[in-house]
Amino acid sequence: MSPHLSLQRTEAEARRALLDITSYDVTLDLAADDVTFRSVTRIRFTSQGGATFADLKPVAVASLHLNGDPLDVDLVDRGRLPLQTVAGENELVVDATMRFRNDGEGLHRSVDPADGRPYVYGMSFMDAAPSVFACFDQPDLKAPYTLHVTAPTDWRVFANAAGEQVSPGHWEFEESAPLSTYFVTVVAGPYHLVEDSHDGIPLGLSSRASIADDLDRDADEIFTVTKASFDELHRLFGIRYPFGKYHQAFVPEFNAGAMENPGCVTFRDPLIFTSRVTRGVRIQRATTIAHEMAHQWFGNLVTPVWWDDLWLNESFAEYLGNRVTADVTEYSDTWADMSYARRQWGMVADQGPSTHPVAGNGATDAVSALQDFDGISYTKGSAILRQLNSALGDDVFFGGVIDHFDRHRFGNATLHDLLGSWERAGAGDLDGFAREWLLTAGPDRIELDRDAGVLRRTPPAGHEADRSHSFRVAVASDGGWRTETVQVDGPETAYAPEGDAVLLDPYDDTWAVTLPDSATVAALPDLLPAIDDQHLRAGVWNGLRNAFNNAAVSPADIVDIAVASFPVEDTEDHPRRTRAWLYGRVLPLAPAGSTDRLHEAVLGRLATLETGSEWQLAGFRAAITTSTDTAELRGWLTAPPAGIDVDRDVRWRVLARLAALGAADADELQAAFDADPAADARVELTRALCSRPDPEAKEWAWSIFTGQTDRPNYEVLAAGAGLWRGGQEALTEPYVDRYFAELPGTAKVRSGWVLADAAEAFFPATSISRTTLDKALTLAEDPDLAGPLRRRLTDAADQLRRQLAVKAAFPG
């Protein structure tokens, strides 16, 4: 993979001062080849006159013309085409061949194993647009786009603007509203389409043909959430949705949850449910729908000038997506679920070595900015906006937002611009708020000292701040709970609650690391089972996770609390959530026999849960994950508990667990896939094959990491998860040294999103030793290591350091 240059902020500022883009006209031929496609781009722009460059990442260039004059096709160097513009009107025409990709970026092409049909979608975010069309790739050079697409005659094609098939295989699209390059998309393939409308807005949903029945089954719920969200966002903003149609495309092998492309939002298609799912996943889908809709205003109508204001997109969409879902859909419990799903993502990132401010994070180039696309940009920013809204009230908060939209409609803006809009709306001077909460990294730490009768507030080392916190405290006494509100304005605040347990900020009112004291931890095994307030239960587990992350609670105590009341109410087991944290972080450090204790506790809890309920499904999944009894697991394949169906998801969970235990060989796993060759099953096949305690399985997983075996993005991450299975340390020990030796070379076979994700997925998570930490820290100091690899390596090393701190604090 050629080393393309990443756009520097200084270069973007110089190019913006030189150029204004009038329009793009892009012609794509997707029908000629399975590997490459033709891309012809005509860019009209005005210039002050002088030297600049366009961004272009082709396989080959057929011709280049600037203002009618041919240019040498060999001018393109490391993704850049140098140009000598004239003052006034200019026109650049580029005829190039581009490569379809399988890493979730650029123009991604995949083949559905269910029916062998190909699907294409565009993901232009962060340096990827130039691999689809020639462009000036930065967020503040917006322009309208007109697309022309040739595709196989049985395909449908969608893009940002409305379009139609004018003759077999030939699609013409209307001119779009002004867009940043990273919003431009094309979705093409034999997609199944469902259409509707609401309040004058044409609505569409599309998915692969093989999951058409699943989309049809889910369409009513998706449209219901979409319509309710539109109504609420129109009410809050007082500004109509500005991009015409609203199509939601569910596409295969998508890296993120979704991408907010105006008029054609792309979602990962596991959000069309082919197996039974829990409420947690349904909430995730609903909040993702509302999140991407909020982006149509925050991000799309008004776009950041540069990536250091990425939070102006993501924090607002996170806050509003959760708020709208909670307020106007059936998922009124969204905030409790988000506490489980997202709180620790941001909190851990904010305590790590790569923490950064919410705003003004100093991103010097686009690639480094992608690494700040994290839990701070989403979760912490959302929490701070929620605090600000609580302080200002809706009238002032949204009054400022509307002023911001009106002043910068279809343009670009900065944090300073938004603060000015809020101040005009009556917020008062926000300089202090911005300095303490948005421009200073790291969270305060707040702890209760019962003996001294005080709450202690400690700012993060190296990021001094003087923040005030107002939050609720839950106090348990005489078997019941009461809630009090406290205000922390200094290093010490007098507070002496009388109770057996004291939970600080369990309802996520502020942003701080709050830790339960030892008396609270000791009381929780008796108290937690009786708590039926789901947000309070989430607060318990977030407090324990904060404490574990800071070596302030023992793994044994956490296991005792989980055994007393296993957290099945956190119905999903995504890696960021509580149960995955228990399995991956706590159990490796817990006393011998803890997995079996958890398994027995899960089985006991499972017997008490309503048959057919989502909690029962969550509990059964936990039983699979913690089981070490192969006969029990095989029995569940044919005779699961009443209320549980052995659908594709359940089948592959059991098979993957059997594989990790050495009780399912490659032939059995392949036969299971051959009997049901679906896209999600192919990912699970890779995970299960790599999970086997077998040298050949581990070597094959490693070949995926190095790129010797080419697999699309989802399978790369599944292979990493399968490689490092607990209990297989003797088998995987050689790969610890190989990881540090071979990680740098992965930058030659991958880029962007999946480069960093693979570095994290293949980090030797089961090698909890000081030697491994030292190797990680040494490699992270290598100046030649690619930035995305250094960032993920540094963060993974910090988590390992924290596990070692727990081992040291609680030996045995």
Active site residues per annotation = 292
- Reading phi first (left if > 0) and then psi (alpha if -120 to 50, else beta), residue 737 is in alpha
* DSSP conformation class of 275: S
d(CA 558, CA 565): 11
> Interior CA angle at 183 toward 254 and 574, to 5°?
30
Give the CA distances from residue 640 to residues 28, 257, 653, in Å, rounded to whole numbers and listed in that order: 50, 31, 13
Residue ranges of E strands in 103-175 = 106-111, 118-123, 145-150, 156-159, 163-167, 170-173
Q: In what order do the strands lie in the sheet with 258-259?
A: 192-198, 201-207, 246-251, 264-268, 258-259
Q: Count each helix (H run) and each strand (E run) in the chain, helices first.
A: 28, 28
CA angle 630, 634, 636 (to 5 degrees): 120
Could you give the CA distance from residue 283 to residue 268 in angstroms, rounded to a whole number?
Answer: 15
347 and 280 in contact (C-beta within 8 Å)? no
Residue 624: its H or E element? helix 614-626
Spatial separation of the C-alpha atoms in residues 396 and 417, rounded to whole Å: 16
Q: State the CB neighbour count (10 A cutoff) for residue 252.
A: 25
Torsion angle defined by CA atoms of residues 623, 627, 631 and 633, in that order, rounded to the nearest 10 degrees = 40
As a 3-state breakdown, the chain gives helix, strand, coil percent values, each rounded to 5, of 45, 20, 35
Structure tokens at 86: 């004239």
Residue 254: phi and psi, rounded to 5, are -90, 135
Cα separation of the two ends of the chain: 47
Phi and psi, residue 205, nearest 5°: -130, 140
Residue 348, token pair as written in the block: 């851990």
* CA max distance for the chain: 85
**Amino acid in the structure at residue 352:** G
Chain-centroid distance, C-alpha 718: 16
Pair 512, 444: CB distance under 8 Å: yes
Residue 404: which residues within 8 A CB-CB, separation 6 or more?
302, 413, 417, 418, 421
What are 719's two structure tokens? 């292979």
User: String of b and e for 615-648 (b: at least 16 CB within 10 Å)?
Assistant: bbbbbbbbbbbbbeeeeebeebeeebeeebeeeb
For 228, half-sphere exposure in the C-beta direction (CA atoms, 13 angstrom radius) is: 20
Residues β-bridged to residue 501: 476
From 237, 325, 251, 248, select the one nearest 284 (Cα to Cα): 325
The H-assigned helical ranges of 242-309 are: 279-295
- Going by DSSP bridges, is the β-strand pair 411-413/302-304 parallel, antiparallel, or unpaired? parallel
Alpha-carbon 461 to chain mean position: 28
Which residues are paired to 21 by β-bridges?
45
Say if residues 811 and 589 touch (Cβ distance below 8 Å). Answer: no
The pair of three-digit structure tokens given for residue 236, joined into one six-digit string: 């809050």
Among candidates 40, 86, 49, 52, which has minimal Cα distance to 67? 86
The pair phi, psi for residue 85, each rounded to 5°, is -85, 160
Q: Are strands 246-251 and 201-207 parallel, antiparallel or unpaired?
A: parallel
